[in-house]
Structure 1
Amino acid sequence: MDLVTLPFLLTCLAIAVVPGPSVAVIIDQSLRAGRGAGLATIAGNTTGLLFWAVASVLGLTALLRTSEIAFVALKVVGAVYLCWLGVQSLRRSRRHEGDLPATAPTRTGGRLAAYRAGVLANLSNPKAAALYLALLPQFIPAQENVLHATAILAGVQMSISSLWYVVLVTVVAAVRRFLSRPVVRARIDQISGLFLVGLGVRMITLGRAAA
């Protein structure tokens, strides 16, 4: 498969391992509702990537790249969503400092809610759109069929990111009982809440060069 080169694989791996909105939401959902919710969030994130891949083929991401209004609108929606998740996490930290038993981790919303969280985190992230607009075309030879090449490269990128996220969810699930102890969970919620709010604020300041 000539399209899938070592530089492309390394680039996809680097993008996957760098913490961002999707990683934060996946870990947050895994801590709140367990491994199943984490996997559902990964599925939601992958659905978002699939949307951007199709949009890239149809040229819709070019509109996002060239339209200041579309770019700002998506950026604001993403920032508000991340800040909302962060505030929710900070509010939970106050409850965890109360009498939540260590043997009863919080389960809120279920897997469908986790799936939706993954979809929203991805679709509201302008960097996800830029990934398929700016990255994939660089690895598509001029003589290749765009649809065929995009499908292959996008499939590889989704597989790499999903596998990495599954590793994260598995690790979180393995230590979740310890992490769900009231004092520990309260601190984690505080840290993740501040991190999500920070990501939201950073997204507001995101420029086209960064995207």
Structure 2
Amino acid sequence: MKTGRVDLVTVPFVLTCLAVVLAPGPSLAVILDQALRVGRSAGLATIAGNTTGLVFWAGASVLGLTALIRTSEVAFVVLKVVGAAYLCWLGIQSLRRSRRAPAAEPGTGAPARGLFSAYRAGFLANVSNPKAAALYLALLPQFIPASGDVLTGTAVLAGVQMLISASWYAVVVLAVAAVRRVLDQPRVRALLDQLSGLVLVAMGLRLVTLSRAAA
């Protein structure tokens, strides 16, 4: 069996990556929250943070850290509790915003501090998600031949997965930006904050009940 870089990226691998990224999860919820509340730039910054989180998990996979999370009950519980707490905190913040009078915000831009906050939100949502760890432990190794180089194989497959992930989320952010003027009305914004808050809290509660078998 050939182990070249091109041979690693098979149709089944691409389809699997698409299925994973299209499934709603914490990353999508946080990206949508930032794109709806702040704008396109913040949404794209959140995608960058999420992708950095994937880089972290790819490196952890090579070092064997994701295997520790997969096999250690303590590590898994700590990670999912931290992730759940962070999502619930974001959700509560969104719910609190929905009760306040909306302040004027720029249409599609955001100050540098706001972009960093969005980037950080995307990064933290990803690195505190045990499903992201399981993705790089359970998914990538299946597509690396036994005789292949693990480091090269992980780098190639992770790069493709990150490209698919970032591309899909960018489409979502651009779609939100296209209709944001309609969504920017005070009553609509308050409703969206409420909906976003409830979704984030629900995902946080769902994450804390996640079992290792489901990850």
Q: How would you bin the TM-score normalised by the shorter chain?
A: over 0.9
Distance (whole Å) between structure 2 residues aligned to residue 81 and residue 156 of structure 1? 28
Report if aligned partners of 1:32, 1:106 keep a CA contact under 8 Å in 2. no
CA positional deviation for 1:100: 4.8
Distance (whole Å) between structure 2 residues aligned to residue 201 and residue 170 of structure 1? 29
- TM-score (ref. length: structure 2): 0.93
Q: Pick the aligned partner of 1:13 from 14, 18, 25.
A: 18
Q: Percent identity?
A: 70
**In the TM superposition, what whole-angstrom CA distance separates every residue of 1:145-192 from its partner, at most 9, and x where no partner exists?**
000000000000000000000000101111111111111111111111
Distance (whole Å) between structure 2 residues aligned to residue 103 and residue 85 of structure 1? 21
Task: Report the residue type matching 2:22 in the other structure.
Answer: V
Matched, 1:142 2:163: no
Unpaired segments of 5 or more residues in structure 2? Answer: 1-5
> How many residues are treated as equivalent by the alignment?
209
Query: What residue in structure 2 maps to residue 86 of structure 1?
Result: 91
Superposition pairs of residues 118-133 of structure 1, within 5 angstroms: 118-133=122-137
Query: What residue in structure 1 maps to residue 197 of structure 2?
Result: 193
Distance (whole Å) between structure 2 residues aligned to residue 102 and residue 115 of structure 1? 18
Distance (whole Å) between structure 1 residues aligned to residue 142 and residue 35 of structure 2? 34
Give the secondary structure class of the aligned counterpart of 1:209: helix
Task: Report the residue type matching 2:14 in the other structure.
Answer: L
Distance (whole Å) between structure 2 residues aligned to residue 103 and residue 117 of structure 1? 20
CA positional deviation for 1:14: 0.9
Query: What residue in structure 1 maps to residue 60 of structure 2?
Result: 55
Distance (whole Å) between structure 2 residues aligned to residue 165 and residue 103 of structure 1? 21
Distance (whole Å) between structure 2 residues aligned to residue 28 and residue 111 of structure 1? 13
CA positional deviation for 1:17: 1.0
Give the secondary structure class of the aligned counterpart of 1:141: coil
**Structure 1 ranges of 4+ moved more than 3 A:** 98-109
- TM-score (ref. length: structure 1): 0.94
Report if aligned partners of 2:41, 2:108 keep a CA contact under 8 Å in 1. no
Give the secondary structure class of the aligned counterpart of 1:199: helix
